[in-house]
Structure 1
Amino acid sequence: MAKLIKNSFSADLVRQAKFFKALSHPARLSILQYLAETKTCITGDIADELPLSRTTVNQHLKELKEVGLIVGTVEGVKTNYCLNTQAIKDFKSSAISFLEDLNIDTINCKK
């Protein structure tokens, strides 16, 4: 198991939990899907593309930026939003590893 931090949780688990928390809302998943579908960075207001208020979208963008899944750079009065492809690759690899480590094939619980 990875080195434990002060809360008795490994740094890897804490990092993974932050990513999972950021992905725990359908609006955030929708934002990531939208950015992936456009295959480019979006300059302007993503709220125009989602069925949510600007304030709500901005809060979700903030959450995604804080964990590094997206980047947003200000260009004049607009913000340019992009997927952070390396962070997504890293999280994807980490999530797959985490789920594989659960080793559910050996569990024999009665339902």
Structure 2
Amino acid sequence: MALFAFSVAPMTGGESVSAAVAEAVRIVRESGLPNRTTAMFTEIEGDWDEVMPVIRAATDAVSAAGHRTSLVIKADIRPGAAPGQIDSKIARVEEHLAADDEQRGHS
């Protein structure tokens, strides 16, 4: 099991890359793998062999919009981890923050 965060965009002369990025996000969502998109990255969870072809297809789609493509990938590879880490990692941080707030007397 692994979590991947990636950012892919065409390197074009224009300012907006949102149409090309939207196509990449569509490919990720259609994969059926757990995912979320933020302003900076798209996160996707699954086995290496499941995720990498999705990232490749998303990159290929974006590459069609320009002659150069920027791709950044970060991975948290967790052999034996249970599925659902895309949400549970955030939940664990929120639990720590809530406990810290409670100890400090914040509500």
TM range (shorter): 0.3 to 0.5
The two structures have a TM-score, normalised by structure 2, of 0.33
Higher relative contact order (CA 8 A, sep 6+): 2
